[in-house]
Amino acid sequence: MEFLDRPTRHLFFTGKGGVGKTSVASATAITLADHGARVLLVSTDPASNLDEVLQTELAPVPRPVAGVPGLHALNLDPVAAADAYRERIVGPYRELLPAATITSMEEQLSGACTVEIAAFDEFSRLLGDPSATADFDHVVFDTAPTGHTLRLLTLPSAWSGFLEGSQNGASCLGPLAGLEKQRALYEATLRALADGAATTLVLVTRPERAALAEAARTSTELDALGIKNQHLVVNGVFRAQSDDAIARALERRCADALARMQDEFIFMPRTEVPLAAHALLGSDALRALLGGGTAPAAEGDVDAAALPPALASLLPTLEAAGHGVILTMGKGGVGKTTVAAALAAELAARGHRVHLTTTDPAAHVAQTLGDNVAHLRLSRIDPAEETRLYTEEVLATAGAGLDAQGRALLEEDLRSPCTEEIAVFRAFARAVDEGRDGFVLLDTAPTGHTLLLLDATEAYHREVLRQGSNMPEEVRQLLPRLRDPDFTRVLVVTLPEATPVHEAAKLQADLRRASIEPFAWVIEQSFAAVETSDPVLRQRQQRETRYIDEVRGLSQRTVLVPWVPEPPVGLSRLRALVTTGPRPSQNAASQLESTR
């Protein structure tokens, strides 16, 4: 790995959800520490799983990592960061301003966007203030899935521009004086990100078309931000060690995807990491990922007949009412988009009116569906377009009766990055409202971003109760509809692996705290449900059974989707995915024949 031969002080790992960012970032940090460097590993993901991967309980401050001398790690806690940020802004005014004004400031600082900017504030301190990490030779950042990370990385310029353009001294985050104090830090953060001698951006991807396409888009956007020193890591490259159909199909999918890699990557330094047979938990397993140790062997056989049923077993209940909302939720890269598109295609084929939409900033719904389908409408909640529409609406209503100074103040407030959060939330509420007249399939963003959206839902519902009739009806009804089990069916999607299952369990707990009960769990891309003699794949399928059993213990309904030889793209393959069950040899062979 070139970036390990001459490591910069800062290393950023980003990519599509589920590509192995945390594993590769952790293995890199361990390698640097094993060579004698003092290393700090930082997770900026709101749904971090760094604790589980390192097998070490972490906190928002550096803690030593078990079994790795020289390595410390921390999780940025967005909620704790928001509390500290809120107090830093409001605290200086407590003795100077009336209580009502203080209360108003605290209400302004209670939204989801405050959580985001507070987490960014902590991130800026670690990157832009050298004294904050003076005890370490390298700082390795394990970031959230691409869409969320791109937003994080664009915030320095967004906030700098907002501060420069602001003339009236107020924003949705309270008095700008608090933000002005951070201006120098934000500018230092921008310089550190763009300095190729100090920062390396490592794009992690899988050898899959969608993941490679997203990596290419991310590379272009990061280049536009001035982040030029980029390196590509292709994680999970598989080379068959047997002649069975499944192993050859997986090898062919990897090779085809790599052969189609876009021109952007031709001159970019690249590292390929083999598909791991073992669970990437703990320092020894992580060392083995980069070739520095021996992987522990898996044991046991799979009883395919005892696996959960196919996705089709959910259809009778899902379509009984003839309308409603179906949300797919889970960690990035677990197959939420595929499950949403497959069910949408099947419901539309059965004659139902269906709207398939997504809140994921990095979604690939259109590519997954491919064809035009009768009865099925496809859309995407576009943050930029929704922000434009929302801004026009506010200026036409709230701004209509204002004088020039008042309108200028309103326009300034609407230019803040927080406006996008409100606009996306409103679009989400409109989509849910359509479930009264047909089926709405909502493919949500990875867990962390979705939790921020649900937090916003709770916050807006409190505002609805406070403001009475001043909110649109779809916003007033949003939380009650999400809580109605006859109207909204949440499908928790996971892979049969430790981190996706445990992250989904936390998501389920968060949903239940909001009085939203998941309808079912969907286990995606299971090798346990296919027949193979390849030693790497056999270890993986044996390892999966533990997590399949764990999911059954967590859910009232569990279904399983086998790994399929051809990418589940296009109407016929998506519909086949709904009915494909855990009957290894027959299903795999029939799919191979039908797709050739």
Give the Cα separation of 495 and 578 in Å (integer): 16
d(CA 42, CA 350): 48
Alpha carbon separation from 218 to 110, 210, 212, 362, 414 (Å, rounded): 31, 12, 10, 10, 27
Q: Which one is catalytic: 14, 15, 16, 22?
A: 22
The residue annotated as part of the active site, out of 189, 391, 499, 526, is 499
Residue type at position 227: I
CB-count burial class (<10 Å; 0-12, 13-18, 19+) for 157 = middle
**Element (DSSP H or E) covering residue 324:** strand 324-329
114 as an active site residue: the answer is no
Distance CA 125, CA 188 (A): 9
Catalytic one of 16, 17, 43, 45: 45
Q: What phi and psi, each to the nearest 5 degrees, are found at residue 515?
A: 65, 35
Which of 21, 331, 333, 335 is flagged as catalytic? 21
Q: Nearest Cα to 394, choosing from 371, 411, 418?
A: 411
Beta-carbon contacts of 250 under 8 Å, excluding residues fewer than 6 positions away, are 238, 240, 537, 563, 565
Is the separation of the CB atoms in 443 and 452 below 8 Å? Answer: no
Write the secondary structure of 486-502 as one string of H (helix), E (strand) and C (coil). Answer: CCEEEEEEECCCHHHHH
From first CA to last CA, the distance across the chain in angstroms is 37
Q: Is 438 among the residues known to form the active site?
A: no
282 annotated active-site:
no
**Closest by Cα among 59, 64, 91, 89 to 75:** 59
* Distance, CA of 185 to CA of 200 (rounded, Å): 20
The SS3 call for residue 271 is strand
Candidate list 20, 174, 324, 333, residue with the active-site label: 20
Active site residue 20: yes
Spell out the SS3 assignment of 456-476: HHHHHHHHHHHHHHHCCHHHH
Q: Reply yes or no on whether 331 is catalytic.
A: no
Instruction: Write down the H helix ranges in 129-198.
Output: 146-165, 176-180, 183-194
In the residue annotation, 406 being an active-site residue is answered as no
Catalytic residue among 15, 16, 17, 18: 18
**Annotated catalytic, 21?**
yes
Residues catalogued as catalytic: 18, 20-23, 45, 499
